[in-house]
Homo-oligomer: A and B are copies of this chain.
């Protein structure tokens, strides 16, 4: 995501303030925060947290968005790991991945 200029290599090998592990850490953090970087996704996460367990396409009902758009946001939340979805007959139940949530909270808290 971040293009690295050639001359930046020098700095990295010389023990800079931001060493290589920090880069990975920053990307981790960015990935997780990006998952919440849209009101719709924030609302979806909040919704799932409210109902303790999981929900299916009721989410669509609660959102002022088209079904396909909600599905896209759910896909993003799944890809970042914040949300899990398991098939339950004809529908799909989504629920929060508590580990991922904990990781996010810890990352932010430890800032």
Contacts and interface: CB of A to CB of B under 8 A. Distances in A.
Interface of A: 1-5, 8, 11-12, 16-18, 22-23, 25-27, 29-30, 33-34, 36-43, 45-47, 49-50, 61-66, 101, 104-105, 108-109, 111
A37 B46 contact: no
Contact of A111 (B1, B5, B45): B45
The main secondary structure of chain A at its interface with chain B is helix
Contacts of A47: 17-18
A60 B39 CA distance: 31
B37 A18 contact: no
Contact of A29 (B1, B18, B42, B66): B42
Contact of A64 (B8, B39, B50, B65): B8
